[in-house]
A = this chain, B = another copy of it.
Amino acid sequence: MATLVSSGMRDGLREHRRKLTRPRQAILEIIAAADHHLTPAEIHKRARKKYPHLGLVTVYRTLDLLTEYGYVQRVHFSDGCHSYIATGQGHAHHLVCSNCGRAEEFEDCDLAPLIASLQRKTGYEINVHMLELMGRCPDCSSRSPRGVTQIRRTVPPRNHK
C-alpha cells in the first residue's frame, strides 16, 4: 500500500523532474491513510511520527505540489482554513460530515447543468468553481437525531486555525 503510493507517485513526479523524497512520501501516506480531511498542521503532526525532522514549511510546499499534480484535493472551509484529502478517481467535490468529518466524493458533472444554465443566463465564461457541502452523515444523524449529543467527534469542532 505504501509501496503503491510511492511507486505511483515516483512516476508522476519523474515526469516533472521532481524528486520522491522521504518527507513527500510521509506526507502522502498520511493523507492516503486518513479517512477524512486533514489540516496542514494535523498532517505535520502525524507525519512527524514517521519522519521527526519534518518541517511545517515542507508540508505546505508538498501540499501545493500534490494538489497541483492531482494527488490530493483542497477542501475549503468558510473560516478560510484549508484541509486536504486524497483524490479519488476523477471526482472533484466533497460532502463533509460536520460532526465526524467523514467525506463523500461526488462528481464534477453534477454541477455541470447549473454551470451551463448560468453561462447561458449571464454570458459569463465560467472557468473556476468552488463548492463545499456540509451536513450530518447518516451515522451521525441516527446516533443523535436531535443534533444535541455528539458521540464520536473526530474533527476539531471549531477553529482549526
Instruction: Check B106 against A110 for contact (C-beta < 8 Å).
Output: no
Instruction: Check A131 against B129 for contact (C-beta < 8 Å).
Output: yes
- List the 7 closest pairs (A to B, CB-CB), nearest first: A123-B138, A126-B135, A80-B80, A128-B134, A124-B135, A130-B132, A125-B136
Instruction: Check A80 against B78 for contact (C-beta < 8 Å).
Output: no
Assuming A118-B106, A122-B95, is B128 touching A130 (CB within 8 A)?
no
Say yes or no for A63: interface residue by CB 8 A criterion. Answer: no
Instruction: Check A130 against B131 for contact (C-beta < 8 Å).
Output: yes
With A80-B81, A124-B135, A131-B132 already in contact, 6 other A-B pairs whose C-beta atoms are closer than 8 Å: A76-B80, A80-B80, A98-B128, A124-B136, A127-B134, A130-B132
The smallest beta-carbon distance between A83 and chain B, in angstroms, is 11
A95→B134 CA distance, assembly (Å): 21
- Residue in B78, B115, B123, B138 whose beta carbon sits within 8 Å of that of A76 in the complex: B78
Q: Which of A78, A117, A135 gathers most chain B CB within 10 Å?
A: A135
Q: 5 A–B contact pairs at CB < 8 A?
A: A98-B128, A125-B135, A130-B130, A130-B133, A131-B132
Contacting residues, chain B, for A129 (C-beta < 8 A): 131-134
Interface residues of A in 97-146 (CB under 8 A from B): 97-98, 104, 106, 110-111, 113-115, 117-119, 121-138, 141
